[in-house]
Structure 1
Amino acid sequence: MTGCQLRLIEAEDIPFLWEMLYASLFTKEGDEPLEPDIIHSPELSKYVEGWGREGDFGFIAVDGQGSRLGAVTLRFYSDHSAGYGYVNAATPELGMAVIEEARGRGVGTLLMQAALEEARKREIEAVSLSVDPDNAAIRLYRRFGFEEREMCGTSVTMLCTLHPTS
């Protein structure tokens, strides 16, 4: 996508992270949309609440006018605060969403490249995520080396083992 740039997440992006959390919730075509307040449930709010704690990192994609197009976040959890794609405390869980108008234009690819490159720089060994098997984004994740590990409810936990760049 031309004119798309990435930058680190800043404090003023937190409301957008909430929007992207909602946008990341998959519903099948024809299903009723989820209630917007669902993102404030304990199972989901952990993905944004308190953003900026040690270990959190991610990127915002913006267009030439500075409008936000999407976000990717990586966050560490523990056994007692496990997210849907939790593998272990040493593996951050990736969350990503792109605004509807920008989907299919390479924004997700740019966000994923940046996230995995930064994880490698931080010498993180693997990254996990959770995705509905019917979500078209699963093809993007597979392209970047994510492999299906297990089914958890209606979602697949996927893991990408990273190799340091030299």
Structure 2
Amino acid sequence: MKEKLSEFIQSRFASDLLPQRDINTNLLHFSIKKESISSVIRTLKDHPEFAFSFLNDLTSIDWLGKREPRFEVIYLLRSPKNNHFRLQLRVPVGEGEEVPSISDLFPAANWPEREVFDLMGIPFSGHPRMERLIMPDNFVGHPLRKDYPLEGPGQDYLIEDLLTIHVKEDIAG
């Protein structure tokens, strides 16, 4: 299965593939151009032999100072038809760039895409509701980026706005 799928992807999507980087994984993995990710995933999902019909995970990595472009969005697909065979697709993304949403292909991608946007600042074009999921709407920054300050940027405004309390008065009282 692994060899057949690898040959299929390399022949069918030759112009969509990016050079592979050495990564420590036992999964079959490919780096894909961001503008091609939706069509690649659609083909793999709809293909009768491979049938990657389950989105296992969607997450991101910040490679600050180690790689360019800085970010990668990672898709982990499974094929229940083929004994849950797993495939990892990696999409390099630069600062300020968007990745096409796959929430139309996998409704389960809705929240993970919003989580990646909220915590890493990577937007997904075509997403039906691209807004923060975890952090308050007025939160400044993206806390899972490697350059986000450990102590935060001073978030007292969040407490005052959301809970309508004054931090100094509560501590003194």
TM-score by length of 2: 0.31
Q: Pick the structure with greater CA Rg.
A: 2
